[in-house]
Structure 1
Amino acid sequence: MDSRDKPVRLWKSFSYALTGIKTALWLERNMRIHLIASIFVIGCSLYFSISKFEWLFVIVAIGGIFSLELINTAIERVVDMITDKYHPLAKQAKDLAAGAVFIYAVTAVVIGIFIFLPHVLRWL
C-alpha cells in the first residue's frame, strides 16, 4: 500500500461516519429530538455564559447521547437484518441498547439541572 493512499482512506472513513450521522438524523426520530434538545441547551449555555468547566460537561453530555443513540440504532439495524421473527435474545439486545441510551439521557438531564438551575434561579 502506498502512503499516499492513507489520506484518501482517512477521508473516506470520515465520509462514511458523516453519512451514518445524516442517515440517523433523517430516519431516527430520537436523533432529531436529541438534536433539537442539544440546540436548545447550546442556546441556553450561550445565553447564561456558562463557564468553560460547565461547557465541558455540556459537550460530553451532548456527544455521549448522540454516540449512544448511533450505537443503539446500529444494534437495532443488525438485529433486524439478522431476523424478522420475534426472538427473545433479539428483543433483549434491542432493549439493552435502548436502556443504555435512557440511562445516559437521564444522566444528561441531571447534568443539565446541576448546570442550569442556579443560572435560571438567578435569572428569576
Structure 2
Amino acid sequence: MRKFIKGFGYAFSGLGYAFKSQLNFKVHVSFALLVAISGYCFKLSSSEWLWIIASIGLVLMTELINTAIEQLVDLVSPEIHPKAKIIKDVAAGAVLITAITAAGIGLVIFIPKILQYAA
C-alpha cells in the first residue's frame, strides 16, 4: 500500500515539473480552465461535459507524454541528431493533432450556445 501511495507522489511531482518547466503545458491548463468556466456559464449538458472532459484530458496527457519523450531523447542523445529531431517533432505533432481535435469539439459544442446567447 505504501508503494501505491508513493506512486501518487511521483505522479504529482511529474505534473509539477511539467507545469513549472513547460510553457505549452501551462497554456493547455489555462485553456482548460477557460473552457471549464465557459462550460459552467453556458450550462453544458452531461454529454457535452463528457466530451469536454475527455478532450481536456487527452490534450494534457499527450502534452505530458510529449514532455517525457523530449526528456528521454535529450538523455539518450544529448547532441543534435536528425533522428532525435524526428522523434521530438512527431511527438509534438501528436500534441498538435490532439489540440486541434479538442478545439474542434469545443467549437461544435460552444458555437451554437454563443449564437443562441447572442440572439
Deviation at 1:83, TM superposition (A): 1.7
Q: Which runs of 5+ in 2 are unaligned?
A: none
Write the deviation string for residues 44-85 of structure 1: whole angstroms up to 9, x where unpaired: 000000000000000000010110000000000011111221
The 5 A counterparts of 1:1-80 are: 7-80=1-74
2:100 aligned with 1:106, yes or no? yes
Q: Which runs of 5+ in 1 are unaligned?
A: 1-6
TM-score (norm 1): 0.93
TM-score (norm 2): 0.97
Structure 1 runs of 4+ aligned residues shifted over 3 Å read none
Q: Secondary structure at the match of 1:94?
A: helix
Identity of aligned residues (%): 41
Deviation at 1:87, TM superposition (A): 1.0
Tell me how far apart the structure 1 counterparts of residues 2 and 58 of structure 2 sit (CA, whole Å).
28
Tell me how far apart the structure 1 counterparts of residues 87 and 77 of structure 2 sit (CA, whole Å).
12
Larger deviation: 101-110 or 77-86? 77-86
Which of the pair has more CA radius of gyration? Answer: 1
Equivalent residue for 2:109? 115
Tell me how far apart the structure 2 counterparts of residues 49 and 73 of structure 1 sit (CA, whole Å).
34
The count of corresponding residues between Structure 1 and Structure 2 is 118
Deviation at 1:106, TM superposition (A): 0.2
2:80 aligned with 1:86, yes or no? yes
